[in-house]
Amino acid sequence: MKFDVSHDGAVCIVKVIGSIDGTTSQELQDTLGKLLGPDRKNMVIDCTELSYTSSAGLRVLLGGVKDSRRMGGDLRLAAVQAGVRKVLSLSGFDSILKIYPDASVATQSFAA
Amino acid sequence: MNPHAHTSSLPPEGAGPPRGGSSAVTMQTKKRIAVVIGAGSVKCAAGIGLAKVLAREGIAIDLLVGASGGSMFAAVMAQGLPHEETTELVSQLWTRDLTSQRDNRAMLSALLPRMFGFDEKFGMKSDALVMQRLQAVFGNSRIEGTKTQLLITATDFHTGEQVVFSRGKLTDAIRASISIPFIFKPWTFDGRTYIDGFMSDPLPVGPAVREGADIIIAMGFDSPMQENISSPTRFAFQLSSIMNNNLQRARFAFHNAAHHGEVIAIVPEFEQRVRLFDTAKIPYIIEEGERATEAILPQLHRMLAQGERSLAAVA
């Protein structure tokens, strides 16, 4: 798994490349922990190249959502591929996460 | 209380070696792999596809858990038979004529309850053929005698709680687990009455978590929505599907959040519509199960390899 981190104004965009599971989730958790802060509480996870997530990945995403919302921001998903979307749907996580068609729309959603 | 039904007294993790299903891969990784097959009638045959792929990859299943239709398929898979034979057996078990015999007395009791007496043993269809088929396939085999450790879930009709069968006659546990509401009457044995396993959890990951499985491969199925509501039965099925799907999401979300290890969800996609008794589509369903399992193989291998690395570090 690789990350590509960029910023658009106050929004941090993390493109996750590969898959999130028990072997990689800690790395993502550490990355989110470093990036999220009171001054950077809005985040977009660009899932264009995220091929898969297991329960470990879901837990990290949920943790990121909780942390960002606790700070008054949000963590939003963009370009979720079919396989990941199925897991989000089966686990009901799609009911608590905001999901957008691409990173640009997700980033703009913070301005709305 | 039924001595074979448990909700909290299962053997603790590591209490004993898995039956027969242990393999070189399991020994190397020390990671216990559980496969959970959720409710889904004939779609549960996708579990055979899952097992085929795992066997091909040399990955042994340590524990099988099944609910409702999944209990039947898990029970056959737990026998450790060749996949062709497993497919043949489930094809014999689950056919449309299972629901061909109406239970006239039950229907009359629903229409005229005072005259015919209505009670909890209500089901519109006779279960005689179901029991005949289960008996033919499983005979007097017991859950604790299967080659791979097996757990079957049902729901206590009076309390609504999930019940996990880890011992006892396979026919009783499966019959209890497939007591589809309104269709087959609840099943009573050893003083307790059970309804379909999906009523408490359509995808019972919980028992695998409790058993200490490190990697849980959970194959779940959404209940289909009715194309039209043209009969009371379809109306009942529609309500059942709505509740089932929402319950599945809620329970699965909880288990995802609660489990210390990995829950790998597999949701086979069926482009062809698969109805409750589309037994003729079993080969197609197995193929889709294989396809869906192959999609998660890279992650599964990586997790197993991580276990090997951890062991090497300890050594």
The predicted-structure confidence for A33-80, as pLDDT tens digits, reads as follows 999 999 899 999 999 999 999 999 999 999 999 999 999 999 999 999
Q: Distances in Å between the alpha carbon of A97 and those of A102, B91, B103, B236, B276?
A: 14, 41, 47, 32, 33
Q: Do B298 and A19 touch (CB under 8 A)?
A: yes
Interface test with B, best of A91, A93, A95, A97 (most B CBs within 10 A): A91
- State the SS3 of B61-97: CCEEEEECHHHHHHHHHCCCCCHHHHHHHHHHHCCHH
Inter-chain touch B264–A86, beta carbons under 8 Å: no
Q: Angle at Cα B80 formed by Cα B75 and Cα B85, nearest 5°?
A: 85
Q: Distance between CA atoms of B140 and B119, rounded to whole angstroms?
A: 29
Cβ B174 vs Cβ B189: under 8 Å: no
Contacts of B196 (CB under 8 A, 6+ apart): B39, B67, B68, B154, B155, B177, B178, B179, B180, B181
Residue B303 is predicted with a pLDDT of 86
| Residue B5, pLDDT score | 60
What is the value of pTM for the model shown?
Answer: 0.84
Which of B250, B259, B306 shows the shortest C-beta gap to A55? B259
Other CB atoms within 10 Å distance of the CB of residue B241: 15
Q: Which of A23, A58, A90 sits opposite B302 (nearest CB)?
A: A23
pLDDT attached to residue B21: 44
The answer to whether A97 and A65 have CB atoms below 8 angstroms apart is yes
Q: What angle is formed at CA B298 by the lines to CA B294 and CA B301, rounded to 5 degrees? A: 110
pLDDT tens by residue, B168-177 = 999 999 999 9
**ipTM exceeds 0.95, yes or no:** no
3-state helix, strand, coil in chain A (%, to 5): 40, 30, 30
Residue in chain B nearest A85 by alpha carbon: B267
Distance CA B198, CA B70 (A): 10
- Of A89 and B38, more confident: B38
The shares of helix, strand and coil residues in chain B, as percent rounded to the nearest 5, are 50, 15, 40
Cβ contact (<8 Å) for B303 and A21?
yes
Going by C-beta distance under 8 Å and a sequence separation of 6 or more, which residues neighbour residue A28? A1, A3, A16, A20, A57, A60
How far, CA to CA in Å, does B134 sit from each of A15, A109, B55, B129, B256? 51, 56, 26, 9, 33
Convert the pLDDT of each residue in B250-293 to its tens digit: 999 999 888 777 899 999 989 998 888 888 899 999 999 999 99
Q: How far apart are CA B310 and CA B314, in angstroms?
A: 6
Chain B residues in contact with A54 by the CB 8 A cut-off are: 262-265, 299
- Parallel, antiparallel or unpaired: strands B192-195 and B149-156: antiparallel
Interface test with A, best of B222, B266, B299 (most A CBs within 10 A): B299
How many whole angstroms separate alpha carbon B209 and alpha carbon B34? 9
Of A19, A54, A59, the CB nearest to B257: A59
Residue with tokens 């779609």: B43
Whole-angstrom distance, CA of residue A54 vs CA of residue A84: 9
Low-confidence ranges of chain B (pLDDT < 50): 1, 3, 8-18, 20-29, 311, 314-315
Cβ atoms of B268 and B47 within 8 Å: the answer is no
